[in-house]
Amino acid sequence: MTAPGSTLLAEIVDAVGAEQVVTDPVSTEALSRDHAEWAPCGVPLAVVRARSTADVQAVVAACHRHRVPVVSRGAGTGLSGGANAVEGGVVLSLEPMRAIREINPLEQLAVVEPGVVNDDLRAAVAGHGLWYPPDPASSPWSTIGGNVATNAGGLCCVKYGVTRDYVLALEVVTGTGAVVRLGRRTAKGVAGFDLVGLMVGSEGTLGIVTEVTVRLRPLPPAAITVAGHFASVVDAGAAVRAVGAAGITPAALELVDRHCLEAVDAWKNMGLSVDAEAVLLARVDEPGVTGEQVADRIVDCFTGAGATWADRSTDPGEAEALFEARRLAYPALERLGPVLTEDVCVPKDHVPEMLARIEKIAEHHDVRIANIAHAGDGNLHPLLITPPGDDAARVRAQAAFEDILDAAIGLGGTVTGEHGVGLLKREGLEREASPEVLGLHRAIKRALDPALILNPGKVVAIEGVG
Amino acid sequence: MTAPGSTLLAEIVDAVGAEQVVTDPVSTEALSRDHAEWAPCGVPLAVVRARSTADVQAVVAACHRHRVPVVSRGAGTGLSGGANAVEGGVVLSLEPMRAIREINPLEQLAVVEPGVVNDDLRAAVAGHGLWYPPDPASSPWSTIGGNVATNAGGLCCVKYGVTRDYVLALEVVTGTGAVVRLGRRTAKGVAGFDLVGLMVGSEGTLGIVTEVTVRLRPLPPAAITVAGHFASVVDAGAAVRAVGAAGITPAALELVDRHCLEAVDAWKNMGLSVDAEAVLLARVDEPGVTGEQVADRIVDCFTGAGATWADRSTDPGEAEALFEARRLAYPALERLGPVLTEDVCVPKDHVPEMLARIEKIAEHHDVRIANIAHAGDGNLHPLLITPPGDDAARVRAQAAFEDILDAAIGLGGTVTGEHGVGLLKREGLEREASPEVLGLHRAIKRALDPALILNPGKVVAIEGVG
């Protein structure tokens, strides 16, 4: 008797080699989910490690013949369940594809395989005086392919934009196993629809990216850091709005609350804890006197909004430690118990109100909520922390999570600013988008993946999957 | 006996009012084509002037019921035939929808109807210290809706990007007559596929845009202009490459050749004609000393590449006159005879070679070719000019046009940098994109416009149209 999937497995092994195919449940389990603590996930038939476009094409073609789902993944640092395995499907890991194929200073672009780690790309191009701006907090671990799949953001987005703004061209394996090249190497181009933009952020549901051509910029000048302490997160939110109202676009404008600083200190003993409920960190990278003037105006905005202390940092080491603390906040909080991560984004005008609503929701549901935020673009990450093993707290956190989504939608915002829909925000998307817009999503999904095998069930539910 | 289309016409008149519907051929003829001199166009059943989203919806729904094509248009300044009427179809003019609904300095956005003229939006937001960067040379006449449909570029793209980079949200009437809202007002958002980006540049084939939310920036500081004279366009191309190799991103870097300057002078008597084959104009808008340093480095790049003269302009009036001449080049050349406009875009490295090939192609086919170019991003506009009534010259120009497309593709470029595919570049797109990629286009077209009534036959040929 032939076990289910054994023919498919034999075809995959034949195409990519047995050493690239993992089937024992202990080994596949670790590669079956991303970092979204609370999203469901299935048990895969196998995890396949792709080393080339040909490997990806062979696996997708085989899955297409057998109508078996294929879920692509990078480093698994996603926060929405987008890379979680589908029961009985194939997980396709692109981590082995980590070559940087070209760095071109004249055209200011680089061509990379999807498994290249964000920070590795950054380091490689810095040697040429160039910069790849998108900087999710996961940049030491997350891959460019994963960043493309989720249209990752980060600290610098407020001034420099998101991943989509830096993707010029893609090589993609489609749902029928064809290899296509989308986009171009030129600075401009309007020959046909924007299929590159459509692929970016589609979370592996419309195609699997096997090569990325990214746009680069010159390295920015040395930055000035401005820090402000506030007696409440709402005051800090008012300062964020004041910076926007002053027409200032800082190179970063981050909010970190007391919960986060204490958790980082408890872990790393960095001596950061301050006598403030919230800290704002701004980065200014205009050159010379202009930069100093902008920094001073930000200090004024902070002070005018009620900061208990605000100043330009004169110590680069101290400034870097503050940004490092912001990057460490998420793993530091995870040490305290399961974390449910929010990712709402609201218009700047409503940042203070949204932060106030989050406080009320925390109180109402008796849930501990810490706040980190890319505050300058209204992208808030309330982190709902529950004590390990406390199921009742978990239920309350889930209710608070839903209330936060509704509050963001009510303020003209979105349920996800940069983490993606995956599984965690699928219902949120259904509340945010009209049935007609969801219908357009399904029509495009069916057009590009007619057999519905690419990461099915993520982003939008679709009939015929399962 | 009922004339063909009379039921449809009656339904449209019933919905929008007889005064908005034009059917006499003399009046419709002027609204049946864009500015692409040589593209074919049909005789429409009627031209309908839409005053509201409800008007657009009613017209599309009626056309959907009757399976009659509907071609939307703005000011008709397009250069690819994208707005040309389809035989027996309805032309839907969005020019009457010209309200600016909101200008929001805090969120740095504006909400406009599609018929708002680009320069009118610019002037309105300037009063708030804000700037809408995309600046096609047609900005005094072209509409934001048309700019969105073609993903229009312009002079500032080299530093500030194209229309797509400034569109946050759209209201769109789909091919089945549904009204949908796509995108968001927040700075970031990844809830669902990038349908806004997909609509931008789709030339009215996937939906009809009835409202646009654009991102704005603060007005840039006063700019410094650098001008350079060159003994050949190829030398000027080498200077463009040198600027790129120096890692400089000017706020504009335009090439105008002697043919253009002479034509503008013959028309406007601006006293521009110089003893040079090509002029490069760069604009630098970094503030203060930094800007002066960048300007000096550009002078050095020009000189190093063999400029016969190069300097910073000390006279703002003179600098503005040079940029005005660049904007007037196209209409000035049109006075000399029918112009076939090219719009190729090549990597910066190949700008000199592409300009050399254009010269050879002009010689080989005995065609007069003038050059204007957004040279800084490799976007060249060779203009093929034929004497009025000279059919043989027209045939030669057509052959030269095709050779230029092949040369651009051969150098890793694209057949259209900013004008769009429309009808003129449809075959070019077929040469540039693989059959699989064209297949993805057709699949998306069928998914979003299943009755194939939206501007059918533009961008890609599709079975079942006609």
Amino acid occupying residue A405: L
| pLDDT exceeds 70 at position A466 | no
The interaxial angle of helices A288-304 and A233-245, nearest 10 deg, is: 130
Determine the average pLDDT of the residues in A49-57.
Answer: 98
- A345 and chain B: CB distance < 8 Å anywhere? yes
Taking alpha carbons only, the member of A171, A168, A167 closest to residue A150 is: A167
Band of pLDDT at residue A3, cut at 50, 70 and 90:
low
Range with lowest mean pLDDT among A168-182, A267-281, B177-191:
A267-281
Amino acid occupying residue B79: L
Which of A:301-340 have CB within 8 Å of B? none
Length of chain A: 466
Band of pLDDT at residue A4, cut at 50, 70 and 90:
low
Write the residue in A181, A418, A421 that is nearest to B192 by C-beta. A421
Which of B:256-285 have CB within 8 Å of A? none
CB contacts of B288 in chain A (<8 Å) are: 288-290
- B432 and chain A: CB distance < 8 Å anywhere? yes
**Interface probe, candidates B104, B109, B147, B193, chain A, greatest A C-beta count within 10 A:** B193
Q: Distance between CA A343 and CA A408 in Å, rounded? A: 10
> CB distance A245–B105 less than 8 Å?
yes
Write the residue in A106, A164, A434 that is nearest to B244 by C-beta. A106
Per-residue pLDDT of chain B (466 residues; tens, 9 = 90+): 455 568 999 999 999 999 999 999 999 999 999 999 889 999 999 999 999 999 999 999 999 999 999 999 999 999 999 999 999 999 999 999 999 999 999 999 999 999 999 999 999 999 999 999 999 999 999 999 999 999 999 999 999 999 999 999 999 999 999 999 999 999 999 999 999 999 999 999 999 999 999 999 999 988 999 999 999 999 999 999 999 999 999 999 999 999 999 999 999 888 877 789 999 999 999 988 889 999 999 999 999 999 999 999 878 788 888 888 888 888 899 898 889 999 999 999 999 999 999 999 999 999 999 999 999 999 999 999 999 999 999 999 999 999 999 999 999 999 999 999 999 999 999 999 999 999 999 999 999 999 999 999 999 998 876 4
> Residue A450's CB: how many other CB atoms inside 10 A?
13
Amino acid occupying residue A351: V
> CB distance B107–A347 less than 8 Å?
yes
> CB distance B181–A434 less than 8 Å?
yes
Distance from CA of A34 to the nearest CA of B (A): 18
DSSP conformation class of A251: S
- A111-123 core/surface letters (b: 16 or more CB in 10 A; e: else): bbbbbbbbebbbe
Taking alpha carbons only, the member of A369, A357, A459, A338 closest to residue A409 is: A357
| pLDDT exceeds 90 at position A38 | no
B6 CB burial (10 A radius; 0-12, 13-18, 19+): exposed
| pLDDT exceeds 90 at position A196 | yes
Give the Cα-Cα-Cα angle A110, A113, A114 (nearest 5 degrees): 115
Q: Distance between CA B143 and CA B163 in Å, rounded? A: 12
Q: Which residue has the tokens 């209330």?
A: A403
CB contacts of B189 in chain A (<8 Å) are: 345, 414, 416-417
Which residue of chain A has the CA closest to B438? A192
CB contacts of B290 in chain A (<8 Å) are: 287-288, 290
Determine the average pLDDT of the residues in A54-64.
Answer: 98
| Helix ranges restricted to H, B170-232 | 195-199
Question: Under 8 Å CB-to-CB from B366, ≥6 apart: which residues?
Answer: B396
CB contacts of B180 in chain A (<8 Å) are: 434, 436-437, 440
Q: What is the pLDDT of residues A290-349, one digit of tens each?
A: 899 999 999 999 999 999 999 998 787 888 888 888 888 888 998 988 899 999 999 999
Give me the residues paired with residue A383 across strands: A341, A370
**How confident is the prediction for chain B on average, in pLDDT?**
95
Q: What is the pLDDT of residue A250?
A: 97
Write the residue in A178, A245, A249 that is nearest to B436 by C-beta. A178
> CB distance A378–B187 less than 8 Å?
yes
Which residue of chain B has the CA closest to A171? B437
- Tell me the domains of chain B and their CATH numbers: 6-95 (3.30.43.10), 100-218 (3.30.465.10), 224-410 (3.40.462.10)
**Interface probe, candidates A168, A193, A406, chain B, greatest B C-beta count within 10 A:** A193
> CB distance B417–A189 less than 8 Å?
yes
Which two three-digit tokens encode residue B382? 């060779």
Q: Distance between CA B118 and CA B75 in Å, rounded? A: 11
CB contacts of B184 in chain A (<8 Å) are: 345, 413-414
Q: For chain A, give the percent of residues with pLDDT over 90.
A: 88
Which residue of chain A has the CA closest to B129? A247
